[in-house]
Structure 1
């Protein structure tokens, strides 16, 4: 397997993009993994340069995507159904960065897998052709970054206070009350909610729930503890409520997750990416 990341160089891109990534696997490796994408509160643009794949949502519905798409599921998981050769590129946006690529508010696309040509038009097909023609991974990264420079709106579409609020929720693993966050960034809760819906597609409370569940998953990767430990770490005072929220977002109970976590691929999940990422600076 090849997994490389690229940190954007352009000052036009850095405010919106956290990193670009590239993945390649042969058919045997791909067949052995069953990746599950667990919400992390961020948007991930995917460009599939290999064989076709599809998604299976928590209701068992099969969604066939085009080459370039975004997974906008922010409240529950989605599985990837793959076959054949895997070659993919992706863009991991900063919390409100995806809004800079769109003409409409983000909440209008949240809740499914969206094909980018339906949102951006022919420029997406042109990007796919240029990436396929690029002769090296470095050239692909530069091509993708150049396309983003052309496509991203020149001025931020989000309020800096909302960006600061998202950073606070991430930094505190979603465990700080939204009311306190709003006060710190000097916004009313209602105004902050509107800004989040427009730029992130979710409310601050929903974003906080996602981030605290991601924090629990990170802790589970590091050590095995009694269930009560994770319940308290996630800010829950009721174990049944914690298990219900965990099952909806991850697709299994915490106990099942402990048994199966080594069988689930973390390839597309940002919480594990640092363990397998090799940096490439073209």
Structure 2
């Protein structure tokens, strides 16, 4: 089983986009890019070897992080050493991680953090139980139970944040100012809301989410070249290619050739 996705049940579906489980696979390169999604994620390696996280694609500077890892919202790829064994994780919805960790999203933006720094012994116990659970579905159910236990049931995303997030997913959106008009939020208030709850500025978040929509179309093979740029509201193909390379570290053609099937990882060969 190389990679499988599981959709969350209520009430976690308000905050979690998906649970995922990866089995063993043979890495094609010594490093991988994890592409930005605009949301936080939780990664739990099901082995004892620390995860190597590089400070950049072309540097040897790296940190080894043991156990479960919380990844903040990003606008650039995260460079990691490929996992040597099975892994399970949670992809939160934008703004959806806050009730489980209680840390302002901007404190984690562009960062990775060992989960035990926030959850202490509970994180280590969860890691051990996940490693002892034999089935992929059982691991997902264990993660669900743990998140439900931590969920403050009265927690709700603010109506202004929900409306803003929905607006940024619309393909015909033309500017951040349009979101201000729709929600009635001033530019200053929208910026503060996104930094605290999402971790990115509204403009950066919009760039990343539009990029993710492009990835979905690329993987389906439904649009190419200028048509893809036009469909997603880029000024022209040159603008589209600059944005794609900025957010992915590669061209669309390179991405399709080097992506790790079923994931948002891309092999880095040199």
TM-score (norm 2): 0.84
Post-superposition Cα deviations, 1:219-275, rounded to whole Å, max 9, x if no partner, equal 33315633x4444344333655544332221112x3xx31452222144329xxxxx
Partners of 1:157 and 1:121 in 2: CA distance: 25
Contact map agreement 2:116 2:123 (CA 8 A) in 1: yes
> Residues 112-191 of structure 1: matches in 2 within 5 Å?
112-156=111-155, 158-170=157-169, 172-173=170-171, 175-191=173-189
The 1:267–1:189 alpha-carbon spacing in structure 2 relative to 1, beyond 3 Å, is same
The equivalent of 1:3 in structure 2 is: 3
Distance in 2 (alpha carbons) for counterparts of 1:23 and 1:218: 20
Give the total of aligned pairs.
260
- Decide which moves more: 127-136 or 103-112: 127-136
CA shift digits 1:87-117 (9 cap, x unpaired): 1111111111111122221101111222111
Equivalent position SS for 2:161: helix
* Aligned partner of 1:48 among 34, 38, 45: 45
State the match for 1:247 in structure 2.
245
Report the equivalent of 1:38: 35
Residue 81 (str. 1) matches residue 81 (str. 2): yes
List alignment gaps of at least 5 residues for structure 2.
Answer: 266-270
Counterpart contact for 2:72–2:105, Cα < 8 Å: no
Contact residue 231 and residue 237 of structure 1 kept, 8 A = yes
Q: 2:209 aligns with which of 200, 208, 211?
A: 211
Gaps of 5+ in 1: 271-282
Residue matched to 1:268: 263
What is the deviation of 1:175?
A: 3.7
Q: Distance in 1 between matches of 2:158 and 2:223?
A: 40
Is 1-10 or 35-44 further displaced after alignment? 1-10
Matched ranges for 1:224-235 at <5 A = 225-226=224-225, 228-235=226-233
* TM-score using structure 1 length: 0.81
1:154 is paired with a residue whose SS is coil
* SS of 1:79 mapped into structure 2: strand
Deviates more, 1:125-134 or 1:30-39: 30-39
Alpha carbons of structure 1 residues 135 and 31: separation in structure 2 relative to 1, 3 Å:
closer
Q: Deviations over 1:142-199 (max 9, x none)?
A: 21111101222333264122022112212x1484422222322332232222111111
